[in-house]
Structure 1
């Protein structure tokens, strides 16, 4: 009987959370804003803090809010919001991240489900998508979020979008992601929503890609060194390990990983060319 396909997403999330905590002391999984900061690992924490401050400025001010954090990562954003006096519920599909949310944001209600399927009861003053919006079909997520809002409630989004004229090409998907910006804007009136405020922070966010790629290149150098040692001194064991990897990971996946570890194509400039990172607040029109 064929074995089950290995899902690398969960281990990837766990590794990402662990790396973020090791670097910054917090389990943030989002980009940073690098304006005025040197792009190096030691500044990841301050860059992420600058992002959080910019995001929180989009929230209605001067009162305690009931907030639904949709795709809430490891719960760090929810914890910050609760520390500011807000009531927070989190929707997150990953069992691992749901556990981290319960640990990091004690007292928050955690819904372990896809947002499309989550049984959530409003009304909320804010539905927040912090780098989670791109992973859900917006023709489903926007109407559902709007239906959970209080009469004066808003939707806050911080995420990447693909700009007009974006061309994926024929190779690997260009760095970044997100919904087509033109289609997203055209759908807003149909969902009874309008942009109240919007800021393009693509230039400030883009250096996060250089830092990420530098990390993968460091890992790639280490793995290349191990492979060289095994090839020279334990060739039979090396061949066995390569064969075992081949059982669980197809050639295309191995090639993508190799390009990620050794490549130089994922850069801040490539991100700027293929993405628009927007911070926006959507209000209800009817």
Structure 2
């Protein structure tokens, strides 16, 4: 079947993978936990390791059969396998699926969106590590319930929009995820209970400032090239701008400009619009 729409989610994941690999030498695609760690790009790797340690503290006693949903490049799955667990991974991107097979060679990899994946249970644990926000709210937890064994658990570690969040169509607000109120309403309608919940918003928030600094480096380079083209090759610059206008709406161009040229993605702004929660759920 011929594609008619760009898969921007998969493209973004693939691009993010290359950036993280260049910056840290690893392929962990999640926020860092910055408690007691100086906030700078050089410390992103240690901060991500601290995040993984906190995440693994929620694991029930193993060994477990784990479904890693939206497993990134397989770094987390590889660590879980090293601890003696059996892991299956669901990822939507061919590139990420390939990296999962390299980084977690003992895992079974399903190249599909979770809501479309043909996966067979029972699993002891369904794990969402910064992937829950990409799955329709009415499908994520309910599908997990069909895949879990009687004593199965679900771990959700992700960003949610807080109660006061409002949409701004002209400027993207840092963060993301389902609205926390809608998530809790969905949870109330399912045979699940929260047995652990920790709010780590302030501890992960500095990660967005590292990201913003990298965007600004790219933005500075783009601005310098644009200025040079306007002076030396104005015709070519006009053509490039015309092509950009044909493939990207004015709203998207403005959001890209803000992302590259301004400093709107701060830890303070992240905390204002989001709650980052680590939760473990069990059958009610």
User: Which bin holds the TM-score, normalised by the shorter protein?
Assistant: over 0.9
User: Relative to structure 1, is the Cα distance of residues 8 and 179 closer, same or farther in structure 2, using a 3 angstrom cutoff?
Assistant: closer
1:29 counterpart = 2:29 = yes
Contact 2:24 2:45 (8 Å CA) reproduced: yes
TM-superposed CA distance for 1:249, in Å, is: 2.2
Per the alignment, residue 261 of structure 1 pairs with: 260
Matches for 1:210-221 after TM superposition, within 5 Å:
210-221=209-220
3-state secondary structure, aligned to 2:115? coil
TM-superposed CA distance for 1:74, in Å, is: 1.0
User: Relative to structure 1, is the Cα distance of residues 181 and 39 closer, same or farther in structure 2, using a 3 angstrom cutoff?
Assistant: same
Contact 1:159 1:279 (8 Å CA) reproduced: yes
Per the alignment, residue 57 of structure 1 pairs with: 57
Give the Cα separation in 2 of the matches to 1:219 and 1:42: 18
Per the alignment, residue 126 of structure 2 pairs with: 127
TM-superposed CA distance for 1:9, in Å, is: 4.1
TM-superposed CA distance for 1:101, in Å, is: 1.1
Matches for 1:8-157 after TM superposition, within 5 Å:
8-61=8-61, 63-157=62-156
Contact 2:32 2:207 (8 Å CA) reproduced: yes
TM-superposed CA distance for 1:84, in Å, is: 0.9
3-state secondary structure, aligned to 1:215? helix
Contact 2:171 2:258 (8 Å CA) reproduced: no
The worse-fitting range, judged by mean Cα deviation, of 129-138 and 271-280 is 129-138
TM normalised by structure 2 equals: 0.94
3-state secondary structure, aligned to 1:138? coil
Count of residue pairs the alignment pairs up: 282
Contact 1:6 1:248 (8 Å CA) reproduced: no
Give the Cα separation in 1 of the matches to 2:7 and 2:183: 30
RMSD, aligned α-carbons: 1.6
Contact 1:95 1:112 (8 Å CA) reproduced: yes
Contact 1:33 1:47 (8 Å CA) reproduced: yes
Deviation string for 1:14-33 (max 9, x for gaps)? 22111111111111111000
TM normalised by structure 1 equals: 0.94
3-state secondary structure, aligned to 2:194? strand
TM-superposed CA distance for 1:7, in Å, is: 4.6
Give the Cα separation in 2 of the matches to 1:5 and 1:188: 32
User: Relative to structure 1, is the Cα distance of residues 8 and 138 closer, same or farther in structure 2, using a 3 angstrom cutoff?
Assistant: closer
Deviation string for 1:99-122 (max 9, x for gaps)? 111121112111111111111111
User: Relative to structure 1, is the Cα distance of residues 256 and 169 closer, same or farther in structure 2, using a 3 angstrom cutoff?
Assistant: closer
3-state secondary structure, aligned to 1:191? coil
3-state secondary structure, aligned to 1:39? coil
Give the Cα separation in 2 of the matches to 1:168 and 1:251: 17
3-state secondary structure, aligned to 1:179? coil
TM-superposed CA distance for 1:170, in Å, is: 5.0
Q: Which runs of 5+ in 1 are unaligned?
A: none
3-state secondary structure, aligned to 1:116? helix
Give the Cα separation in 1 of the matches to 2:7 and 2:112: 18
User: Relative to structure 1, is the Cα distance of residues 125 and 19 closer, same or farther in structure 2, using a 3 angstrom cutoff?
Assistant: same
The worse-fitting range, judged by mean Cα deviation, of 185-194 and 44-53 is 185-194
